[in-house]
Chain A
Amino acid sequence: MSEDIFQGYKGSALELLKKFSTRVWGQAEVETTRGTFIGTILPRSENDDDQHVVMKIATGYNVGIDVATVLSMKETGYKKANYKIPEKQFPVTPGLPKVKLFGTGGTIASRLDYRTGAVIPAFSPGELYGAVPELADICNLETEKLFAVFSENMGPKQYIALAKAIGKEIELGVDGIVIGHGTDTLHHTGAALTFMCQNLPVPVVLVGSQRSSDRPSSDAALNLMHAMKTAGTADIAEVMVCMFGPTSDEYGLLHKGTRVRKMHSSYRSTFRTIGDTPLAMVNREKVTPIHKTYNKRRNDKNVRILPYFSDEVTMLYYYPGMKPDTLDALVNAGYRGIIIVGTGLGHVNKELYPAIERAHAKGVHMFMTLQTIWGYVHMFVYDTGRDMMAKGIIPTGNMLPEVAWVKLSWILGQTDDPDEVKRLMLTPVNDEITQREPYNGYLVYQGGVPEVENFVKKVHK
């Protein structure tokens, strides 16, 4: 017997299956000290223990059987399940925009993998059409799987590959690009692509789903439709993140890749534009801009692909009482760039000063960002700020910490000249630093306050 017929089983459970010659997907009768169980043996998730065998009973439920209680086992039949998303030819409709979907491994449309209990993405146009047939009314779709990694494993290598793939696709004359992506680091990728793909002639839309598409209430299908609509028809030629506006199935928001942040671990409406309003709203019918100015769609192919990224940049999240050795350790480890995430207007304690001086002396580029997420770094207000600037820390305005990390990495991939680094860092590519914060750029309302409660009751948040 090959290993595959005991998918996921190990230790005692594997021994038991072998002993009674019962395979995964085999129909089995199991006699135990707790009575008889009849059903189909299922693969076991690799991270679960070796004390139980999983079985699907006739009513469709799964149950686990304690190995220690098993008296005997008999395989009475065999039927392997066939996971397949119904694949239908994606129809080509003349007149609809041509959209390219790049896959990176998110769960935008998926099926279940029994072995790991995880979800396998559905990806080919045929599979996507089978799962979300409405897409065919929006665009003519082509797909390409660039890699299959979880969001948290996206990194410099993938940013560069994506940027190059975008360049190639624009060269081929696509009307818009959608990138399916896990949500955890969607905003990091959004920033990276903004810096790497400049002067875009078409929309580049990053999209994911907060609830994987193996559940009926998933946001995946609607997000996908919104993203395709944006990529195919929006006049906005920028790198954008397209995710739910409210948690309700109503509309999506388009956020600039440089100003967006994931703000809740599980909410559907987790992505928010910070310190500004989102670029636009999108539903299945249309894209409605919120911003008055944006980079408009063009007919040329003059995109500039700048696929640089240094892996020698790190972040330091300050906490009260932080000791200088933390900073020293990073410098000694060879990091050339450090994004400090400071308190309030951009502060760290005096105890760190000597370490900051040592780092500066070694040519380490240090920039200040904020734990407050909202607002500007303002290092002139207190002595501490002025001290730090004197010691070589450069404030980055209202650049988000993650964006600053991405940008410095991108810059250090190109140059090491301190003046040039500083100039590039403080010259916005696409609003990573804005000149002004509009009054409605900071809206974190508190529940319980009567007027907020009134608002929440009337508006789907």
Chain B
Amino acid sequence: METAFDPQANYEASKRKAGYVSRKNATQQNYDRIGFMSGLEVHQQLLTREKLFCHCPAGIYNKSDTYDAELVRHMRPTLSELGEYDGTALMEFKTRKEIIYRLRNETACTYEVDDTPPFPINKEALEIAIEISLLSKLNIVGEVHITRKQYLDGSIPTGFQRTAIIGVEGQIQLKNKTVRLIQLSIEEDSCREISDIGHIRIYKTDRLGMPLIETVTYPDCVNPDEVKEACDYIRFLNRSTGKVRTGIGSGRQDVNVSCRGGSRVEIKGVAHTRWIPELTHNEAFRQWSLLLLKEQLKLKITDPANWRIESRPLIPDDDQLMYAPLAQAIARKQPVMLIRLPGFKGALSHFTQPGKCFADEISDRLKVIACLEKPNLLHSEMLKEEIPSAEWKQFARKAAAGYDDALILVWGPEADIPTALETIEERCRMAFEGIPPETRKSFADGTTIFERVLPGADRMYPDTDSAPIPLDDKLISTLGKNLPTDIIQRYQQLQQWAVPEDTFTFILSKNLYPLLERIVNDFQYQPSMVGTFIGHRLKNLMGKKNNSRFKPGKIYHLFEFLKTENLDPVLAWHMLPILMEHPRIEFESALTIMKFKRVADADIKSKISTLLQKFVPIKGKTDPKHRQNWIMGQLRKTAAGNINLTHLANYIISTEQ
């Protein structure tokens, strides 16, 4: 091994070579160069009273340590109807996890834990899903077939999710492009994970079985911002029905990303749409950089088919390895393996994501597949030195490592070591092929880690416990009658009304457009004024503590009151904080709290002539404007709320002429 090898320098060099640019500096040219391609799977919980296939209440959540009983299951792959085992299925089986489910009698019955067959599908949920499918311009199926989609991670106790297609082939219209939709399905939500340590994974079952829809787009987005826009659009569309859940966890998305020559990688469970741009950006570049690695390995390793890792147990001296996790493993009498990766020099420290290198890809897989908790390896190209390079030289001698080789140290329970070695070799060999299709878990900093092998269509089975549900034309046309208008139409209308653009997201995401429209139509107020009130004033106050429970529908009655009482709508700005603080207060009382006094227009205007006489011009300021401003100043306090101030100012000018 070369002694002067600098992993950090190699990392930076590979990052440059891959042409990585930060998202801030990236242009469409950057994305076109790497062939950025992305699509979405947007999940949305439906607002129903009960769960999808049983009569448990939906939307009641339990704390992790609040449960009445626990039970244990293991998942085993089964054969698909096309006669094949699914890749993910086999991987999950390899991991041999013991899955523990915590249940609370209030929120889970024997259906959730798969001890009772499904009850007929929740009709309320089915109808909402059809409405949203119609809004998404999808072709509605003639008959709904409940399908079992295998999940061997244990997130559903049956080992599969009951899911069904409602519509296929639709589209949404963004500002500047159309994004095509593949399908919309209705499905049951999964368990929430409590912990996953070693071979034990714990879930809670409160969310399990709640009705959910999934809207899947084609990979039509060509830059990170487009992905976010499409995602926002779908979420706003779902919310425009007013029949979906809002709040933390009620909408989640999986984002599929690839670059040219790469593979479809699914970033799972992105909690906020604002995370999307950074995540998709990094993923596309991760793939691009791995393709570069592939090219580099190709030059060095001429016979990839026969490439093997070489491993030997390492028996360290008692005080040799000061790295704490490794020392602990040795103290626990766990085996330590020294692994030689022929020809892999420079690969382990090859850039993948900001702050991450190829060795992390291996480490992530060891955690998931071999159940080795992190940190689970050390390697000869650590970006941060954990054991001195002198040690590595010694290891290199022991492993008979040549100039072009790299080394890995891995440790853990003896039973998991064979899987660990297999996993390391497998991931290295994948580097010759390109990008392994996988699902990845997202983090707020925009990076991702390996979660699972990407499952294919092979994991779908018909649900033998459920009969098909016919959807006749009559039902569909009935449901189609009361659909909200399209998000793009609403967007365009807001523009036309000259409502400030920075209010759109709040208005559409909170589905306040119908409220705005009603206020404008019923009371003929300026749309831009009402839009600003909602998008600025309401948004601002709703963001404050204790105000989140305010029901925006009250605003309609507020404007109705101002209209009927012939008061200036500007009062709404001052009344709103009071209405939020005292949810049951009457509008009149709110005015009293504000010490507002009603004065008739005529009374205010009648004072103008007296004031005109009283005006004493200050030296040098003889312009009529000064006089008018002074009068306005005298009247402002009484007038505010009773009469439009601009109107009053104009009136003052007109009386003088």
Chain A residues packing against B (C-beta within 8 Å): 32-37, 48-49, 51-52, 54, 56-69, 81-86, 111-112, 114, 117-119, 131, 211-218, 221-222, 246-250, 264, 266-268, 447, 453, 456-457, 460-461
Q: How far is the CA of A247 from the CA of B158 in the complex (A)?
A: 12
Against A, the Cβ 8 Å flags (1 = close, 0 = not) of B452-465 are: 00001111111010
State which residues 139-162 of B face A: CB under 8 Å: 139-145, 147-150, 152, 157-160
* Segment of B63-71, B328-336, B558-566 engaged in the interface with chain A: B63-71
B142 touches which of A65, A213, A264, A267 (Cβ 8 Å): A65
Q: Are A457 and B69 in contact (CB under 8 A)?
A: yes
- State the Cβ distance, A48 to closest chain B Cβ, in Å: 6
Does B631 touch A at the CB level, under 8 Å?
no
Contact of B75 with A217 in the complex, beta carbons under 8 Å: yes
Pick the contact of B143: A66, A83, A111, A222 (CB < 8 A): A66
B143 touches A63 (CB 8 A): yes
- A-B CB contact pairs (8 Å), 8 listed: A60-B457, A85-B79, A214-B461, A214-B464, A215-B148, A216-B77, A216-B159, A267-B110
CA distance A427 to B476 in the complex (A): 67
The number of chain B residues touching the other chain, given as a range, is: 35 or more
Contact at A112–B461, with CB atoms within 8 Å? yes
Closest Cβ neighbor of A461 among chain B residues: B69
Closest CB in chain A relative to B166 CB, distance in Å: 9
Contact in complex: A216, B160 (CB < 8 Å): yes
Query: Is the C-beta of B196 less than 8 angstroms from some C-beta in chain A?
Result: no
Shortest distance from the beta carbon of A15 to any chain B beta carbon, whole Å: 16
Given contacts A82-B83, A221-B76, contact A60 B460 (CB under 8 A): yes
Please give the distance in Å from A2's CB to the nearest CB on chain B: 22
A69 to B114, CA, bound (A): 37
Asked if B81 and A112 make an inter-chain contact with CB atoms under 8 angstroms apart, the answer reads: yes
The residues of B that contact A112 with a CB separation of less than 8 Å are 81, 461-462, 464
Q: Are A61 and B81 in contact (CB-based, < 8 A)?
A: no
Instruction: Assess whether B143 is in contact with A266, with CB atoms less than 8 Å apart.
Output: no
Top 10 A-B residue pairs of the complex, sorted by shortest distance between their CB atoms:
A64-B143, A216-B159, A35-B139, A66-B142, A60-B457, A60-B460, A248-B72, A62-B145, A217-B159, A63-B141
Interface set, chain B 441-479, CB cutoff 8 A to A: 456-462, 464, 467-468, 470-473, 476
Q: Pick the residue among A48, A62, A118, A221 that contacts B464 (CB under 8 A).
A: A118
Asked if A57 contacts B73 (CB within 8 A), the reply is: no
Shortest Cβ distance from A23 into chain B, in angstroms? 17
B68 near A457 (CB under 8 angstroms)? yes
Whether B468 contacts A52 by the Cβ 8 Å rule is yes
Q: Which of B78, B82, B115, B461 has the most CB of A within 10 A?
A: B78
Q: Which of A83, A114, A266, A267 contacts B462 (CB 8 A)?
A: A114
Does B472 contact A247, Cβ atoms closer than 8 Å? Answer: no
Alpha-carbon separation in the docked complex, A56 to B651 (Å): 73
Question: Does B499 count as interface, using CB distance less than 8 angstroms?
Answer: no
What 20 new A-B contacts, CB under 8 Å, besides A37-B141, A66-B472, A217-B76?
Answer: A33-B473, A37-B139, A59-B182, A60-B149, A60-B458, A62-B145, A63-B141, A63-B165, A64-B470, A66-B142, A69-B142, A85-B79, A86-B79, A117-B462, A214-B78, A216-B159, A248-B73, A267-B115, A267-B116, A456-B69
Q: By the criterion CB–CB under 8 Å, are B141 and A64 in contact? A: yes
> B55 an interface residue at 8 Å Cβ cutoff?
no
Would B74 and A213 count as touching, CB distance under 8 A? Answer: no
Does the CB pair B139–A32 fall under 8 Å?
Answer: yes
User: Nearest chain B CB to A447's CB is how many angstroms away?
Assistant: 7
Q: Inside 8 A of A54's CB, which chain B residues have their CB?
A: 143, 145, 468
User: Which one of A61, A211, A460, A461 contacts B460 once the chains associate, using CB atoms below 8 Å?
Assistant: A61
Which residue of chain A has the shortest Cβ distance to B69 in the bound complex? A456
Determine the chain B residues whose CB is within 8 A of the CB of A119 once the complex forms. 464
> Would you give the 0/1 interface string for B64-107, flagging 1 where the beta carbon is closer than 8 Å to chain A?
00011111111111110111010001000000000000000100
The complex places the Cα of A216 from the Cα of B148 at a distance, in Å, of 11
Question: Which residue of A33, A59, A268 has the most chain B CB atoms within 10 A of its CB atom?
Answer: A59
Cross-chain contact of A216 among B76, B81, B138, B460 (Cβ < 8 A): B76
* CB neighbours of A221 from chain B (8 A): 76
Interface residues of B (CB under 8 A from A): 67-79, 81-83, 85, 89, 105, 110, 113-117, 138-145, 147-150, 152, 157-160, 163-165, 168-169, 182-183, 185, 216, 456-462, 464, 467-468, 470-473, 476
Give B145's nearest chain A residue, CB to CB.
A62
* CB of A74 to closest CB in B, whole Å: 16
Residue of A whose beta carbon sits closest to that of B455: A60
Q: Would you give the shortest CB distance from B109 to chain A, in whole angstroms?
A: 12
Whether A117 and B464, one on each chain, are in contact in the complex, defined by CB atoms closer than 8 angstroms, is yes
Write out the residue numbers on chain A whose beta carbons fall within 8 Å of the beta carbon of B159: 215-218
Give A457 to B100 CA distance when docked, in angstroms: 13
Nearest CB to that of B468 among chain A residues?
A: A64
Interface centre among A59, A61, A249, A453, by most B CB within 10 Å?
A61
Residues of A within 8 A of B81 (CB): 81, 83, 111-112, 114
C-alpha spacing A261/B64, complex, angstroms? 36
Given the interface pairs A49-B470, A114-B462, A216-B150, the reply to whether A250 lies near B143 with Cβ below 8 Å is no
A266 with B117: CB separation less than 8 A = yes
Contacts A64-B143, A216-B152, A217-B159; A58 near B457 (Cβ below 8 A):
yes
> A59 CA to B167 CA in the complex, in Å?
12
B111 shortest CB reach to chain A, Å: 9
If A215-B160, A216-B76 touch, whether A64 touches B89 (CB-CB below 8 Å) is: no
Known: A65-B141, A461-B69. A52 touches B79 (CB 8 A): no
Cα distance A453–B457 in the bound complex, in angstroms: 42
Interface centre among B138, B458, B473, B476 (most CB of A within 10 A): B473
Complex CA distance for A69 and B70, rounded to whole angstroms: 49
With contacts A62-B462, A249-B73, A460-B71 taken as known, whether A215 is within 8 angstroms of B158 at the C-beta atoms is: yes
Candidate in A83, A86, A216, A218 with the most chain B CB atoms within 10 angstroms: A216
Instruction: Find chain B residues with CB under 8 A from A447 CB.
Output: 105
Most A CB atoms within 10 A — which of B83, B152, B182, B472?
A: B83
Give CA–CA (A250, B73) in the complex, Å.
8
- Among the interface residues A54, A131, A214, which one has the most CB atoms of the partner chain B within 10 A? A214
Contacts of A33 in B (CB 8 A): 473
Q: How far is the CA of A248 from the CA of B114 in the complex (A)?
A: 11
Do the beta carbons of A460 and B73 come within 8 Å of each other?
no
Report yes or no: A61 in contact with B470, Cβ–Cβ below 8 A.
no
Q: Known contacts being A111-B79, A248-B73, is A63 close to B462, with CB within 8 Å?
A: no
Cα of A43 to Cα of B201 in the assembled complex, Å:
39
* Nearest-CB residue, chain A, relative to B469: A64
**Complex CA distance for A81 and B462, rounded to whole angstroms:** 14
Return B40 CB to nearest CB of chain A, in Å: 14
Q: Among the interface residues A114, A215, A267, which one has the most CB atoms of the partner chain B within 10 A? A: A215
